[in-house]
Amino acid sequence: MNWYINQLVHLILQNYLSIMRRHRINSICSIEPALGHSLEQVANNSFNSKELKWIEQIEDYRRLALNTTTSIEVEYLGAGHFPFRSRYQKKSTYNTHQRTIAKIARYSSTQKFGGSFLFSLIRHYQPTVGIELGTSIGISASYHGAALALNGFGKLITIEGANNIAEYARNQLSRLGLSSVMVVTGRFEDVLKDILKKYGPIDYLFIDGDHHFQATINYFNICLPSFRPHGIVVVDDIYWSKGMRNAWRTLCNYPQVKIGITLFTMGILVLQDLQGLRKLYRL
């Protein structure tokens, strides 16, 4: 059932993007071609057969996870999606809780539409080094990894603070054969600086971890000096809370940001090039 709802939402979002926003996508294409073309590709669903095969494989993995009722022990880290916040984080005094894989897949994973967009973005933008903050069970990491595999180069370092979740994601990514994705276990605040030192400079950052205002700004600030010119940052769940809305607005106003685009729940920032031209779009 969940899968059918996911498919329906995917179709609706795709049509919306395709019909209502075409002129803005064209305009983005002229300023940032990789981003514009990836928006076009998701809007028109114009994936080739190899790309569609990967998307299907990842969605098969999601379906399997949605039906996996095994529980794992999970540490509380940053604010996550709605059910985590209301049912656990506000009330519980424990540092860990038991959570089924099905629930993690359902409430903490990027949906098919968002995953397809990230996949397409990586295909067009072709980063050499990317970082993901918040692996969870590895659905979005799989979308990134599949695109990197098709690109034939590039790597993604994805960070997850909950030990058992990180281990689960690592196994699944290896089962899918996505060797360009490396899962690092650790809290962002503890490991991010070392990762940037070791693997930087970076071209790409996907922020999908601790959904608090200050945490989001801090992670962005830590990564900013390690970006190559023209870097791309995607922030998920920008409307999740007042804090996230403020964080998104704050990030858009950084002088290093050339373009800010909202794509449903995601915010996309393109960092400056030499022209220093700034523009904000809402799709």
Ligand X SMILES: C[S@@+](CC[C@H](N)C(=O)[O-])C[C@H]1O[C@@H](n2cnc3c(N)ncnc32)[C@H](O)[C@@H]1O
Quick one: which of 6, 38, 41, 110 contacts ligand X (CB under 6 A)?
A: 110
Residues 6+ apart with CB under 8 A from 130: 122, 144, 154, 155, 156, 157, 202, 203, 204, 205, 206
- Any idea which residue has 């790409």 for tokens? 204
Distance in angstroms (rounded) separating the CA atoms of residues 62 and 85: 22
Q: Could you give the residue ranges of the DSSP H alpha helices within the chain?
A: 2-20, 22-31, 33-44, 49-66, 82-83, 101-107, 112-125, 139-151, 163-175, 188-199, 213-223, 242-252
| Residue 133, both tokens | 């903050």
| Residue 79, both tokens | 């604010």
Quick one: which of 36, 59, 78, 271 contacts ligand X (CB under 6 A)?
A: 78
Only segment of 181-189, 197-205, 242-250, 270-278 that touches ligand X (CB under 6 A): 181-189
- From residue 133, give the alpha-carbon distance in Å to each of 89, 138, 188: 20, 11, 7
CB of 229 to ligand X, least distance (A): 26
Quick one: which of 36, 130, 145, 209 contacts ligand X (CB under 6 A)?
A: 209
Determine if 6 is a binding residue for ligand X (CB under 6 A).
no
| Residue 44, both tokens | 């028109």
**Residue 161: which region, alpha, beta or left (left: phi > 0; alpha: psi -120 to 50)?**
alpha
- Pick 134 or 231: Cβ nearer ligand X: 134
- Pick 149 or 166: Cβ nearer ligand X: 166
Quick one: which of 28, 129, 147, 162 contacts ligand X (CB under 6 A)?
A: 162
Quick one: which of 116, 120, 140, 172 contacts ligand X (CB under 6 A)?
A: 140
Quick one: which of 40, 59, 160, 203 contacts ligand X (CB under 6 A)?
A: 160
- Pick 103 or 124: Cβ nearer ligand X: 103
Determine if 268 is a binding residue for ligand X (CB under 6 A).
no
- Pick 36 or 114: Cβ nearer ligand X: 114
Determine if 136 is a binding residue for ligand X (CB under 6 A).
yes
The answer to whether the beta carbons of residues 140 and 204 sit under 8 Å apart is no
Exposed, middle or buried: residue 22 (CB in 10 Å: 0-12, 13-18, 19+)?
middle
CB of 181 to ligand X, least distance (A): 12
CB of 227 to ligand X, least distance (A): 20
Determine if 80 is a binding residue for ligand X (CB under 6 A).
yes
Determine if 216 is a binding residue for ligand X (CB under 6 A).
no
- Return the bridge partners of 270, or none: 232, 259
Q: Which residues in this chain contact ligand X in the complex, by CB under 6 A?
A: 77-78, 80-81, 108-110, 134, 136, 139-140, 159-162, 165, 187-189, 208-210
